[in-house]
Structures are given as structure tokens and as C-alpha cells.
Amino acid sequence: GAVVSQHPSRVICKSGTSVKIECRSLDFQATTMFWYRQFPKQSLMLMATSNEGSKATYEQGVEKDKFLINHASLTLSTLTVTSAHPEDSSFYICSARTGASSYGYTFGSGTRLTVV
Amino acid sequence: DAKTTQPTSMDCAEGRAANLPCNHSTISGNEYVYWYRQIHSQGPQYIIHGLKNNETNEMASLIITEDRKSSTLILPHATLRDTAVYYCIVSYSSEANSKLTFGKGITLSVRP
């Protein structure tokens, strides 16, 4: 089946630094990828939708200058949390699909970000 | 906002069938019903999806009512590893940019 690899699985960074999270589709080309954030005991909240070769579409209330998304190829999307602060500590999850996916949407295993 | 409503939680005995209900009374004709589950601290796992016909795969069965306003996910023989949060989501399958909007899901606890 379709596999999405997300890296790193855990990261701890200092307040004010930037962190990059990678999301790769391993055995299919992902024209569209999605980024979610999940706080403890809450559901997944969609942050943005990225399409290969174009600018990401951010959900209302998500700062695009803080959460930089790049989808430069059909197999890789990255999320960079810039100038991270403790309130950015969360579980970040990516998802990918193709235009003809028969699996629905495939999710990465998530990245636990802790900002200290 | 999520377009589905699910009970907050339920439990079932190991080896028995788990029937997870979902209401989606405002579903439109082109929207599919998706089920995902999330085990603690992992990414959601695809289970099954369907449009109007009942569907079955190696993991579960999906029963959609004729009016499509509700559905039931059936795990035929629940195991302890099926303990997770199960999300019922409606979305357009044919559009590449269609996004999945997660509600609160239902927490299934499988007891020994």
C-alpha cells in the first residue's frame, strides 16, 4: 500500500530556533499533501494544503510566515516551524494523496515537537 | 467544522464485534464516508471508505444506510490492538485538494 514517511519522529529545540519536518511519499507521487497539528487530547487540526510546484493554502488562523511549507517535488513536502516557541510544541502530522488514490489519504507517523 | 457526529466512547470485549456508529445527515451526493483510526501518538491509519454501497476489506466492514445519513464501521473480531480513536469523516474523493476534516472521533476500548 501507499506509504508516507515522516522525519524526524521526535525533535526538541530551543525557543527561537527553526525546525524542519519532512514528509515523503515512498511509493507513489503525491500531488497534494496536507499538514495537521494535534495538541494533547485533541483531534487533528488541518494547518495547510500544499500542491507540488505551487504555494500552500493555509487554513484560517495559521500563520504562513511562521509555518513555511515547501512542496518542491511530487514525493517531498517540508514544514518549517520558524522561530519556534513553547506554544508551538505539538504533534505534527502530514498526509498525502494522489489524484487517483484508491487508498484515500495516507498519513505519516507524526513528529513530536517540543520547544524548550 | 466536522460534518459527522460520533459517540464519545464505547467499549467491547475482545473477540466480539465492535460496531461504531456515525451520523452524517448533511452528506452530499458526491461525498464519501471515510474511516480512520489513531492509536496513541501515531499517525491516523486508513481503515475503509465508501460512497453508497457497503464495503468490506481485511480490516473492517462499512455499512452505509440507504439514505446515506449514517453509517456503521464493524470490526468483526476486536482485539486489544484495536483500542484507538476512530474517526468518521466525509469528503469528496474525486478532487485532489479535498481535505479531511477530523472531528473528535470515538474512543474504542477493547477489554480482555
Q: What is the pLDDT of residues B34-80, one digit of tens each?
A: 999 999 889 999 999 999 999 999 999 999 999 999 999 999 999 99
The answer to whether B91 touches B36, Cβ cutoff 8 Å, is no
pLDDT band of A100, cuts 50, 70, 90: low
Q: Which of B34, B43, B46 sits opposite A93 (nearest CB)?
A: B43
Give every CB contact of residue B82 below 8 A, 6+ residues apart in sequence: B18, B37, B75, B108, B110
From B99's Cα to the closest Cα of chain A, the distance in A is 8
Which B residues 12-71 touch A at CB under 8 Å?
A: 34, 36, 38, 41-46, 49
Residues in chain B within 8 Å Cβ distance of A103: 46
Backbone phi, then psi, for B60, in 5-degree steps?
A: -160, 175
pLDDT tens digits for B76-86?
999 999 999 99
> Residue A10: is its pLDDT beyond 70?
yes
pLDDT tens digits for B7-32?
999 999 999 999 999 999 999 888 89
The answer to whether B83 touches B53, Cβ cutoff 8 Å, is no
> Residue B89: is its pLDDT beyond 60?
yes
Spatial distance between the Cα atoms of B68 and B31, rounded to a whole number of angstroms:
10
